[in-house]
Amino acid sequence: MAFYNLPNIRIAAVASAVPTEVVKLESFADKFGADYVEKYKEQTGVQQFRKTREHQTASDLAFAAAENIINTKGIDRESIGALVFIAHSKDYWRPATACVLHKRLGLNKDCAAFDISLACSAVPYGMYVVGSMMMTSDIDRALLLVGETPQKITNPDDKSSCMLIGEGGGAFLLEKSNAEGAGISGICRSFGQGYNAIIMPGGGFRNPNPPTEEYVWKDGNRRSMYNVMMRGEDVFAFTISDIPKTIKEYLAKVEKTVEDFDCLAVHQANKFILQMLCKKLKVGQEKMPMCLDRYGNTSAASIPMVLGDVYGNRDDAKDINVLMSGFGVGLSWGVCSAKISPKDILPIIETDEIFEEGIINTPEDYYNLSK
């Protein structure tokens, strides 16, 4: 079992950010028919989502979330010893987006910065990697940043997913702590046979330049090789069987029950999946909050966002016990838990800030970059 236990690490802050543009599902009625859109809303729970501007990236959203933590909490930038950015929506083929964020956040050279290529499962994996690094080093403080902008690679005529996917970014500040209640534990899992269940087939090194032509796929949707293809039925079946199973195994391992948790912050896949998970875990839906109605499925960002949505404006003195689970593309999934003070959970903020200097169209742009 890929079970991890980080007894001296705590989540010291959580933040999230979304772009300002709101897309309402009604706006798709002309294209897909009002009846289909209504049914889609009912079953997935999505009423609207946020969409980035051209050139606005996942790292812009994660940057805004990280800045919010640093400024609100008065964190000394020099004290951050690691920055890990987990996303598929990266800024460049090279360098690592974490290095761009390292510059923008004005962090010290004495800081490990790198990317991890995962999406929906980013939070349980990130806690594992960043927390383990801290436990085996003298790093006392680290940033785990996540974000996704999948609308950019979803075909606008793909009626199976173009109304589901939202965009967002998130940040966690992890700290070493010996205080009572500190500690993060979790489980990470993978099923590589499902690598093609959610895939963008073109543009990577395996097939760098396939034609940009759009095909009508078996499910009736139009996509090119540069769009995301999702075998929804397979992903759904995987989710409703493997996720509750992994959560139950985790609970058995840490000798807890769902009753011990104040909140199940679960990846906002869609309403139907969340309802199935509640049923299988035998918890009331009030314990598994939803923000996908307003933000859609925001992949890696959905855990910090749902926390920000519920606890962002609360300052209850008592820590909450949070179970988090992320699952999806890979197939990759995990579960983890930690005690968090609601005071350390910041509300979701909006941003349209773009790292303009990073848009390089000509050699001139390049040579004008700040050194």
Partner 1 sequence: MELKDFIANFAEQFDETDVNEFKPETVFHDLEEYSSLVALSIIAMINEEYDVTLKGDDMSAAVTIEDLFNIVKSKM
Tell me which residues touch partner 1 (CB under 8 A). Answer: 39-40, 43, 160, 218-219, 231-234, 236-238, 240-241, 272, 276, 279
Closest contact distance (angstroms) between CB of 40 and partner 1 is 7
In the bound state with partner 1, the residue whose beta carbon lies nearer, of 273 and 324, is: 273
Nearer to partner 1, 37 or 142 (CB): 37
Residue 150 has what DSSP assignment? G
Report the C-alpha gap between 98 and 104 in whole angstroms. 10
Minimal distance, residue 215 CB to partner 1, in Å: 17
CB closer to partner 1, 8 vs 275: 275
Distance CA 19, CA 14 (A): 18
Q: Residue 38 CB, nearest distance to partner 1 (Å)?
A: 11
Vertex 342: Cα angle to 288 and 102 (nearest 5): 100
Give the amino acid at 242. Answer: D
Shortest CB 340 distance to partner 1, Å? 31
Distance CA 75, CA 72 (A): 8
What is the crossing angle of helices 58-73 and 97-104, to 10°? 40
Question: Strand 222-223 vs strand 215-216: parallel, antiparallel, or unpaired?
Answer: antiparallel
Question: In whole angstroms, what is the distance from residue 295 CA to residue 310 CA?
Answer: 13
Minimum CB distance to partner 1 smaller for 46 or for 113: 46
| In the complex, minimum distance from the CB of residue 232 to partner 1, in angstroms, rounded to a whole number | 6
d(CA 80, CA 72): 15
Helix axes 232-253 and 271-281, enclosed angle (nearest 10): 30
Cβ atoms within 10 Å, residue 364 = 8
**95 or 232, CB closer to partner 1?**
232
CA distance to 65, 262, 318, per residue, from 315 (Å): 19, 15, 9
| In the complex, least distance from residue 329 CB atom to partner 1, rounded to whole angstroms | 16
Point out which residues pair with 10 in neighbouring strands: 175
In the bound state with partner 1, the residue whose beta carbon lies nearer, of 231 and 343, is 231
Between 53 and 245, name the residue whose CB sits nearer to partner 1. 245
- How far the first Cα of the chain sits from its last, in Å, is 46
Q: At closest approach, how far in Å is the CB of 237 from partner 1?
A: 5
Residue 51 CA to residue 162 CA, distance in Å, equals 11
Considering beta carbons, is residue 214 or 219 the nearer one to partner 1? 219
Least distance from C-beta 92 to partner 1, angstroms? 34
Backbone angles phi, psi at 191, to 5 degrees: -140, 90
